[in-house]
Amino acid sequence: MNHSECSYDLAIVGAGPAGACLALLCAQARPDWRIAIVDPQPNVPDSGPYHPSFDARATALSAGSVNLFTQLQLWQLLARHATAINAVHVSDRGYLPGQLLDASSTGNATQGYVIANTWLGRVLLQALNNHNNITLHQADVTGLTPTANGYQLTLQQQTTPLSARLTAVADGAHSPLRQSLGITTHDTPYHQSAIIANVKTSKPHLGVAYERFLSSGPLALLPLGQSPQAREMALVWTQPTDASHTLLALSEQDFLAALQQHFGHRLGRFQALSPRHSYPLVLRQAREQVRRNLVLVGNSAHFLHPVAGQGFNLALRDCAALASIITNSDNPGELALLQRYLAERERDQALTTRAGDTMVRLFSSSALPAIALRHLGLLSLELAPALRSAFGRHMMGVSRAQESYRGQ
């Protein structure tokens, strides 16, 4: 393909974390490539002083994801506003006291980190702008047309289309482009919504994350702030959709009282609440992830329940494997190459998806057999250090099936 003004080796639709990381990994490995990122959002990072806002959403990063950002030489910047998770407390309401999985049980210095999405986005966007071989286009992609050597991308309100040897679709769980390509999904609705907010507590979090399983669904609290003495937590509270509407309608005081009742007093009193947002939950898996000259990544390929925070970390492992395979080829869109990538990733994708789905169903059920099973599971964690270590590794995305990724 000619390297004319609008021709690229790789075009990525979507400048979210998955799309941005794929671009950065490929740009690092192949400085001779021309890479385009197309996204309707502004592509100039905020240059003013960074103020982490109380209502900012946050992302949990596994040890493997930290390794990837270190490889990209971005971790030093990201770490300025990242909070270390020193331990994860797992509990089931009605079964006390639960299990504390500390970092030493996984062989890591920490269980992972929590980072504000606003800071993650700023660092990634700045890195994209710093690469000479990455071009950002602020536009919607209204169509993808296969050509002899790749795909042609039609951009809204632009007369000249882009063309690329490989196009990566990373435009989110609802992915209009995936739908326009006729790629269907297998959806497993949970009939649940996740309430996202930040809360302040009367006791410091000490770097401990909490995963509490209720009959209505899991409740997670992730530590925020620059010190273990900080008293701010990121809340992800899964509820049946109708119940989530009721909780969202409560006053701040009544919402915090309900949270207190369900979580308990391990962090003292809940004292303040950010604006709340609710997101419907579904397990969504694309029935096709690759075609000749085309690949789906991130939430476009698979959208997971937020239990254990594995969706983003799984997407980064996908991007690392994809970048490693395609940058070692002179034809990144070759179907056999993309099929090799998918074969390499299928086991991790299946294990992570199945584990999360099983945890949701087991820990959201009030049926007596499910209660007995999860109580037995927590008892096993208490009695078997090896099982406790394996569970801790899964919670932070560092299972043995994923070890090869960590060293990249």
Per-residue pLDDT for 332 more than 60? yes
Question: Would you say residue 275 lies in a domain?
Answer: no
CA 119, CA 80: separation in Å to the nearest integer?
9
Per-residue pLDDT for 235 more than 90? yes
Token code pair at residue 361:
């169903």
State the pLDDT confidence band at 408, using cuts at 50, 70 and 90: very low
Question: Would you say residue 236 lies in a domain?
Answer: no
Q: For residue 304, what is the domain's CATH number? A: 3.50.50.60
pLDDT of residue 97: 53
Question: Would you say residue 78 lies in a domain?
Answer: yes
State the pLDDT confidence band at 393, using cuts at 50, 70 and 90: low
Token code pair at residue 310:
């594995």
Residues 273-289, mean pLDDT to the nearest whole number: 91
Q: In which domain, by residue range, is 117 found?
A: 7-186+282-406
pLDDT of residue 382: 43
Per-residue pLDDT for 104 more than 60? no
Question: Would you say residue 217 lies in a domain?
Answer: no
Average pLDDT, the chain: 83
Could you tell me which residue, 200 or 91, shows the higher pLDDT?
200
Question: Would you say residue 194 lies in a domain?
Answer: no
pLDDT in tens, 207-230: 998 888 787 888 889 999 888 899
Quote the number of domains for the chain. Answer: 1
Question: Would you say residue 249 lies in a domain?
Answer: no
CA 274, CA 99: separation in Å to the nearest integer?
28
Name the DSSP class of 81: G
CB 399 within 8 A of CB 107: no
State the pLDDT confidence band at 405, using cuts at 50, 70 and 90: very low
pLDDT of residue 44: 72
CB 190 within 8 A of CB 272: no
138 phi, psi to nearest 5 deg? -90, 95
pLDDT of residue 398: 41
Per-residue pLDDT for 388 more than 70? no
State the pLDDT confidence band at 337, using cuts at 50, 70 and 90: very high
3-state secondary structure of 90: strand
CA 5, CA 294: separation in Å to the nearest integer?
21
pLDDT in tens, 142-161: 999 999 999 999 998 877 88
State the pLDDT confidence band at 379, using cuts at 50, 70 and 90: very low
Per-residue pLDDT for 263 more than 80? yes
- Single out the residue of 184, 186, 185, 179 nearest to residue 13, CA to CA: 179
Kindly give, in sequence order, each residue whose CB lies less than 8 Å from that of residue 406, ignoring residues fewer than 6 positions away: 63, 64, 67, 398
Question: Would you say residue 206 lies in a domain?
Answer: no
Question: Would you say residue 231 lies in a domain?
Answer: no
